[in-house]
Structure 1
């Protein structure tokens, strides 16, 4: 049995199939075309590449072959379904404005759920602080979710301000809740 003859590139000294990894692919192509035109035609023929691309298909989980066009349609359908789910989630979620009593006659107002409607909480807190001339900040609640805490009783004004500044928040999705402090008796 006679040993197999291997062809090595005169530029990068690799087999022609690996020239693309050498970093000198264009020079290697030129060398291959000059010295071994038949191998060059086999590797870089435009007709063969075009026909190969047309025949490309992938198998899905069920094992049936699918073309690239059906894959693109499937991806766009999945993207549409995802956007629809996100939109339904937004429409079913609630913005809760809660008035919480503290000591004596002091209270704070918390706003939870604005972040679902793509509202920047820090900018909103700053706007509330400037509008009502009070302290306002973004804090984590007991469920480790962000909410805006405004010092003072501004629940009705906050309702109107949210509707005026963020049109993406539907009026029906805003709830005003009042939470009174429980008395510590026996």
Structure 2
């Protein structure tokens, strides 16, 4: 009989769990880079060159003045990196209220952005449902962020209710969407 074939040992990335050749196609490539440089340097030789260049740049940046460093750290706090290296700015703390009409008579009021003020959406939906004697639920909106849908047109009273119930919410942070334009509630 023939000899048994020896099993092939495959190296998997310690960060994302795929073979190193596929790390660049994943969403966590920036996190994978240090692991790849240490454990699979032959897979991405350009990473080693980029690290050496980055070290030179970081040495130059450290020699700049302290005031420049302070301003750059505040800018880094505002910026968030998305998959693919795109940069996303921090969400502004604002509540957006929009009335959506369906079936020509019925309407739904959506409230977005309450979680930015530290408010639990489930608690807020219960309070809104009780106050306006209607159905209210937490749903995922079109942008995959959670929002509160309240049955009926409650846009006229909701600003006062939000500012009275949660004092941390300033009236200047509440906006309405009217005819596709953002309008301040105050």
The TM-score with structure 1 as length reference comes to 0.48
Specify which structure has the bigger relative contact order, considering alpha-carbon pairs within 8 angstroms and separated by 6 or more residues.
1
Q: Greater share of helix residues, 1 or 2?
A: 1
Q: Which has the larger radius of gyration?
A: 1
